[in-house]
Structure 1
Amino acid sequence: MKKNIILVVLVNAATLLFSSWNKLSELYTQSALKFKATTINSREITGNQLSVTHHQLNVNGLHINYTATAGYMPITNKDNKPIAKIFYVAYQGSSVSNAAKRPVTFVFNGGPGSASIWLHMGSFGPVRVKFKNDKGDAPAAPYQYEANPYTWLGFTDLVFIDPVSTGYSRAEDGIDPNIFHGYQEDISSVGEFIRLYIAKNNRWDSPKYIAGESYGTVRAVGLAGYLQSHDNIYLNGITLISSALNYQLLKFNRGNQMPYIYYLPSYAVTAQYHHRLSPQLQNLPPEELVKRTTTFAKRTYAYFLAEGDAASPALTQSVIDSLHYFTGLPRDYLISVNGKVSDRQFFKKLLGTTDKVIGCFDGRFAGNNLDDVDQNSYYDPSEANLSGLFVSAFNSYIIKELKYQNDLPYQATADLASWNNKPVTNNGFLDVSESLKTSMTKNPHLKINMVCGYYDLSTPVASTAYVIDHLGLKPDLRKNISMNYYAAGHLVYISKEADNKLKNDGERFYQQSSNNKIN
């Protein structure tokens, strides 16, 4: 009798528990995500296992069924010994015909030392971090994510790669991680990942693309040549976001005059945004202001810098007046620095107060100055609170939606101070422009999608234009490069308007560069 009672109690308890779980599950599905993500996995995947989940995206008239895969790809050496494990998240459209021929894009950010969450959770992926406003300000914690109407998943499958020592990617125990920390070393490991992914997932028939941001543009250019020569993998296209292809244009080293010239147009358009210019320039469209400033910078200003101490008083006065005209900085300050304003000087001086500084990644942002005396002391208000937003939202997302959990800390930005830039240096500066020319020459079908933000004071627009204009390409290859400009900063996509334009420009680029019809 007692056994029967116990059995009935257990059955009733199990029924109640199952019913409660169903209600909880139903509530979760209704409230957790507006894009109606569903999964076939009910358990969390940890360690080296791959988590495979199935989802549906419904947002702003966009309807996509897709499969997500999260986990590690083991990397081995020539003796087939594991030396690293690279973490990735892949999305594959599952409601398309002939899916194997659908484009596949390998995506990463830069640094070096940056994980791929910025492009993953900020622009390309099916979910997007939830910003405070359309401009891209970060809200207060706790942070959220939402369905992404600007995802690139509508026209390409996506594979987000975290290079070794970033994200969850690590060298294997007993392997020195520094063997991956260099231009060539990084390309070899990421290139091997791409080869393995293509082979394991039978993507040989797919149009193949790479998208990189910042230092990721250096990696992307290097990979194009590496994949061609090492694995006979020829790309259809590369998207280069906020390019850093020639460091001589970006580093204010002593004796290097180039950055003063090619930062100036970005100084001007940023000064315009903060209403520091005369009405004559204040009312110009940003693209026209950039054009006028570039003309002055490449002609009169470049000549002035070349003259150095030999510049005549008349030339010096003319240049000081023009610099004041284009930047809004006081004439007496411009005289005190001999007409040469570095990026950090501009960040601290533009707003005319010692209390405020503007952003490097995005000159539209302003914040409090940490130290108004030390010129080398600076924090970037345009990125100060974005890392918390992105990392927190990403960790929540992969656990809840992708059913993947990892006890390692997710390294959004790793300090890789020992990075080796050899052998692609020019006068001591990293320069991959010749590599880009070589890849485009050997693969005349390779298309390039350049993405430039007007308010990017880390990789300014004029420096990117300079690199492209000095590649020495023949006209039939030069037309394979598309230049696209945005009212945005280094992270072009944090503004909804810019991210929408980025998606539309990207889709057009894929239609023009893919031999297969994109479903």
Structure 2
Amino acid sequence: MDRGRRRGGEVIARLVTALAATSLLAAPIAAQDKKETSTVEKKVDDEVKFPPLPADKTVRQSASIGGRSIAYDATIGTISVRDDKGKEIGQVVYTSYVATGGAANRPVTFAFNGGPGASSVYLNLGAVGPKRVQFGAQGNAPSDAPITTDNPNSWLDFTDLVFIDPVGTGFSRSLVDEEKTKKAFYANDPDIKYLSKVVYDWLVKAGRLRSPKYVMGESYGGYRAPRIAYELQSQIGVGVNGIVMVSPYLDPASGDGATALSPLPWMIDLPSMAAAHLEQQHQLTPAAMVDVEAYTRGAFATDLLRGRTDPQAVSRLVTNVSRLTGLDPALVQKMGGRVDSATFLREIHRADGTIGSVYDSNVTAFDPFPWSAQRQSNDPILDALIAPTTSAMVDFVTRVVGWKTDARYHALSYEVNSAWDRGKPDDTPVTDLRKAIANDPKMAVMIVHGWDDLSCPFFASRLIVDQMPSFGATERVKLNVYPGGHMFYSREDSGAAFKRDARAIYAGKAE
């Protein structure tokens, strides 16, 4: 029996050893299988999957523009963005308005807003599209009915219009993960490259490569416009007949700041503050602003550079800045005559318990925390325009055009803005603007601003334009300034003046 037990024990031992060996061999295989499965699962997880967007949809509409009825085709469509290997990584949704029966040489204008993170709804439903919804003026509220009306200041009577929503705005979307999205879409240079390709793709898709072409951009879109024009011209092979920059962001290094050694930040803001004060006094005229600009270029800049070594210079600064801005001289004295835009917006309306918008300092909202040392509210214009513009655009897309989707529409994406790689502080579109103009003596360029805008002050553009060469002709780059702020076109008279000036640079290209 003992012998049998020993033999049985030996058999069991051999079985255990064999099983152990099998387990040791199996373990790496199982681990390898698990590793391979995890890799496959990760690749699947990295692919962002959405329900497909609807097919392009077109409806026939009409609007009363410039005193006559204009019939046009309104289209909501999609253009794919692909990487170097041909993989679809994004989808850009556009809105186009093409007049029916137009001549083969009818111009087409591509419009971009800014942010970064803004859709093109503001230029579309606020400035030059065939329909408009009121926003950006004093008295507007988020609860205003999002009902569009015919836009008498639309440009559709002399150019077809294509409004492009960059990835992350409107219904446009990335199809790759967060890290790849930032690299492909949310940085200055990649943004220009893929949006330029979108313009080209639309021209091919619509059969419009022979049409005169214009690029229009507002705010950061004004940064995009000259760079896209030069990319199209020099890399993609598409000539651009004209560039229109609306309240453009042209010089990233010109923002105000108390530590700035250069007098430029203070010089750039002062005329817009003075314009706002003159408007409050019903005294804003181009002639009055000529005097403001002359002072800013001359005695103001000189006295700033003198600094505290010249007490009389400081005294002059305080006197003149107080007079021009309407601010309390005691406050201006404490600030050494250097008033930043945030202080101006808070203090100029403090007695009313309201706060001004950086986009138009005379558009105000109640300050929810008037006794706080620091501002604790969002911008009055931004908070008031998101609801009407979003609702009006979604209603147009889904109900009027019938492009049905349950995707969310982003009129303004703070997520895109916070994720954006802005590059170097001296990354300026003026370099590409100069190159594009120098390459094409026929290219027309117009920069437009509102007097009261402190987000992108007009005086920055004035100084930039004045430092440009003539390019063989006087006023090769035209600069026009209108009553109002960043979205001056929300004022009927300013919108009409803008259209009149724009039509002039399209002269000879319209039907």
TM tier, smaller: 0.7 to 0.9
Q: In the TM superposition, what is the alpha-carbon distance from 1:398 to its structure 2 partner?
A: 1.5
Aligned counterpart, 2:422: 421
CA RMSD of aligned residues (A): 2.1
Question: 1:274 corresponds to which letter in structure 2?
Answer: Q
Q: Is the 8 A contact 1:104 1:206 kept in 2?
A: yes
Q: In the TM superposition, what is the alpha-carbon distance from 1:61 to its structure 2 partner?
A: 2.6
Aligned counterpart, 1:326: 324
Which residues of structure 1 form unaligned runs of 5+? 1-44, 276-281
Question: 1:214 corresponds to which letter in structure 2?
Answer: S
Q: In the TM superposition, what is the alpha-carbon distance from 1:502 to its structure 2 partner?
A: 1.6
Aligned counterpart, 2:215: 210
Task: Please point out which of 106, 109, 112 is paired with 1:105.
Answer: 109
Q: In the TM superposition, what is the alpha-carbon distance from 1:290 to its structure 2 partner?
A: 1.9
Aligned counterpart, 2:499: 503
Q: SS state of the match for residue 101, structure 1?
A: coil
Question: 2:421 corresponds to which letter in structure 1?
Answer: N
Instruction: Give the Cα separation in 1 of the matches to 2:162 and 2:97.
Output: 6
Q: In the TM superposition, what is the alpha-carbon distance from 1:135 to its structure 2 partner?
A: 6.5
Q: In the TM superposition, what is the alpha-carbon distance from 1:234 to its structure 2 partner?
A: 1.4
Instruction: Give the Cα separation in 2 of the matches to 1:478 and 1:413.
Output: 38
Matches within 5 A, 1:371-410: 371=369, 372-410=371-409
Instruction: Give the Cα separation in 2 of the matches to 1:289 and 1:59.
Output: 33
Instruction: Give the Cα separation in 1 of the matches to 2:333 and 2:472.
Output: 46
Instruction: Give the Cα separation in 2 of the matches to 1:145 and 1:484.
Output: 28
Q: Is the 8 A contact 1:363 1:382 kept in 2?
A: no
Q: In the TM superposition, what is the alpha-carbon distance from 1:479 to its structure 2 partner?
A: 2.5
Q: In the TM superposition, what is the alpha-carbon distance from 1:217 to its structure 2 partner?
A: 0.5
1:407-437 Cα offsets, whole Å, 9 max, x none, are 1111111122132233xx4xx3442222211
Structure with max Cα Rg: 2
Which has the higher mean CA deviation after the structures are superposed, 357-366 or 80-89? Answer: 357-366
* TM-score (structure 2 length as normaliser): 0.84
Q: SS state of the match for residue 376, structure 2?
A: coil
Q: In the TM superposition, what is the alpha-carbon distance from 1:205 to its structure 2 partner?
A: 1.0
Task: Please point out which of 64, 70, 88 is paired with 2:70.
Answer: 64
Instruction: Give the Cα separation in 1 of the matches to 2:343 and 2:177.
Output: 44
Aligned counterpart, 1:12: none
Task: Please point out which of 470, 482, 489 is paired with 2:485.
Answer: 489
Instruction: Give the Cα separation in 2 of the matches to 1:108 and 1:62.
Output: 27
Question: 2:210 corresponds to which letter in structure 1?
Answer: D
Q: In the TM superposition, what is the alpha-carbon distance from 1:476 to its structure 2 partner?
A: 1.9
Q: In the TM superposition, what is the alpha-carbon distance from 1:465 to its structure 2 partner?
A: 0.4
Matches within 5 A, 1:34-433: 47-58=53-64, 61-96=67-102, 98=103, 100-130=104-134, 137-138=140-141, 140-174=143-177, 176-179=180-183, 180-252=185-257, 254-256=259-261, 257-275=263-281, 283=283, 285-310=284-309, 312-353=310-351, 355-371=353-369, 372-415=371-414, 416-422=417-423, 425=424, 428-433=425-430
Q: Is the 8 A contact 1:105 1:211 kept in 2?
A: yes
1:239–1:136 distance in 2 versus 1, CA, 3 Å: farther
Aligned counterpart, 1:15: none
Which has the higher mean CA deviation after the structures are superposed, 226-235 or 287-296? Answer: 287-296
Task: Please point out which of 458, 463, 466 is paired with 1:466.
Answer: 463
Aligned counterpart, 1:16: none
1:374–1:468 distance in 2 versus 1, CA, 3 Å: same
Instruction: Give the Cα separation in 2 of the matches to 1:445 and 1:263.
Output: 33
Q: Is the 8 A contact 1:109 1:119 kept in 2?
A: yes
Q: SS state of the match for residue 400, structure 1?
A: helix
1:154-192 Cα offsets, whole Å, 9 max, x none, are 100111000111111111144722121111010011011
1:46–1:493 distance in 2 versus 1, CA, 3 Å: farther
Question: 1:401 corresponds to which letter in structure 2?
Answer: V
Instruction: Give the Cα separation in 2 of the matches to 1:214 and 1:273.
Output: 23
Q: Is the 8 A contact 1:123 1:499 kept in 2?
A: yes
Q: SS state of the match for residue 382, structure 1?
A: helix
Aligned counterpart, 1:457: 454
Q: In the TM superposition, what is the alpha-carbon distance from 1:222 to its structure 2 partner?
A: 0.9
Q: In the TM superposition, what is the alpha-carbon distance from 1:80 to its structure 2 partner?
A: 1.3
1:232-275 Cα offsets, whole Å, 9 max, x none, are 21110011000110122234363253221111111111112223
Instruction: Give the Cα separation in 1 of the matches to 2:218 and 2:364.
Output: 23
1:115-148 Cα offsets, whole Å, 9 max, x none, are 000001112111111469x877347343211111
Instruction: Give the Cα separation in 2 of the matches to 1:62 and 1:55.
Output: 14
Instruction: Give the Cα separation in 1 of the matches to 2:173 and 2:191.
Output: 13
Give 4+ residue runs of structure 1 displaced > 4 Å after superposition.
none
Aligned counterpart, 2:22: none
Q: SS state of the match for residue 153, structure 1?
A: coil
Instruction: Give the Cα separation in 1 of the matches to 2:294 and 2:181.
Output: 46
Aligned counterpart, 1:279: none
Instruction: Give the Cα separation in 1 of the matches to 2:74 and 2:312.
Output: 64
Q: In the TM superposition, what is the alpha-carbon distance from 1:406 to its structure 2 partner?
A: 2.0
Instruction: Give the Cα separation in 1 of the matches to 2:134 and 2:329.
Output: 42
Q: Is the 8 A contact 2:437 2:471 kept in 1?
A: no
Q: Is the 8 A contact 1:64 1:95 kept in 2?
A: no
Instruction: Give the Cα separation in 1 of the matches to 2:135 and 2:455.
Output: 22
Q: Is the 8 A contact 2:99 2:160 kept in 1?
A: yes
Instruction: Give the Cα separation in 2 of the matches to 1:159 and 1:253.
Output: 41
Q: In the TM superposition, what is the alpha-carbon distance from 1:206 to its structure 2 partner?
A: 0.4
Which residues of structure 2 form unaligned runs of 5+? 1-50
Q: SS state of the match for residue 248, structure 2?
A: coil
Q: Is the 8 A contact 1:46 1:404 kept in 2?
A: no
Instruction: Give the Cα separation in 2 of the matches to 1:462 and 1:331.
Output: 24
Aligned residues: 455
Instruction: Give the Cα separation in 2 of the matches to 1:309 and 1:373.
Output: 31
Q: SS state of the match for residue 385, structure 1?
A: helix
1:93–1:174 distance in 2 versus 1, CA, 3 Å: same
Instruction: Give the Cα separation in 2 of the matches to 1:76 and 1:185.
Output: 12
Q: SS state of the match for residue 90, structure 1?
A: strand
Once the two structures are aligned, what percentage of the paired residues are identical? 26
Question: 1:152 corresponds to which letter in structure 2?
Answer: W
Instruction: Give the Cα separation in 1 of the matches to 2:330 and 2:436.
Output: 48
* TM-score (structure 1 length as normaliser): 0.83
Q: Is the 8 A contact 1:136 1:494 kept in 2?
A: no
Question: 1:506 corresponds to which letter in structure 2?
Answer: A
